[in-house]
Structure 1
Amino acid sequence: MALRPFLPEDIPAARALWQATPGVGLSAADEPAALAAFLTRNPTTCFVAVAQGGLAGTILVGHDGRRGLIHHLAVATDSRRSGLGRRLVEAGLAALHAQGIDKCHLMVFTNNAGGAAFWTGIGATRRNELALYSLPTARR
């Protein structure tokens, strides 16, 4: 299984994988045009895993110049428990490190036990003292 940069032409297959993956939440930010813009802003930090011509995994990683943020780490069901998720995370973190970013955050739905177990298993620290808030950029 080969890792390579996430390219705009991977968007349809990535969206199909995310839609088929429990625990992945999609929004308007995951529409093709928005994803293409994200990839343009983060061309060296996002990766896909390809196996036998198909997409087996994805990770979107970006940063604000200070902290990284992981979005949509997903591995196809038949490729799980192979170390692929860890490899994708390591590639994203290495790309952030190469850009001088020393810490990366991620979000997991509280009811996603499998996701929480994965992140804990690879050494991520759950931050119970923080609360996530969201605001739309267009005020109503």
Structure 2
Amino acid sequence: MELLHKLKREGIKFLEKTESFLALNELEILFKALGKAKYDSKVVFDLSLARSLDYYTGVIFEAVFKGATQVALIAAGRRYHNLIGMFGTKQVPAVGISLGIDRVFAIMEQLQKDKTQSCRQSGPQKLKSS
């Protein structure tokens, strides 16, 4: 929210475009909702991300797995408000997302290996009798 407030200060050249002002308002709505849901600490706002600006519109997002030994991008998405209209007669707002299912499975396999390794290191456990 701090970064958004800095970007919305008067006199900033970025706000000369109406689209920029609207985008910042949409981001503010998103971050307020994340705050109410107590997920704001799990989201990073990164202005360096950019993808195919000719047909993506609005925010792009990425889902990242952060494990003890690895960090992996497992999903990404973006808005495509005008893309469908380029191939037809009707403008249709749209959002697309892709999931790297192979990465998710690789992470799950690694977590299972780590769990198995952890059990082996601690040795057999005695059961308590009642």
TM-score, normalised to structure 2, is: 0.30
User: Whose radius of gyration is greater, 1 or 2?
Assistant: 2
Task: Give the structure, 1 or 2, with the largest relative contact order (CA under 8 Å, sep 6 or more).
Answer: 1
TM-score, normalised to structure 1, is: 0.29
Higher helix share: 2
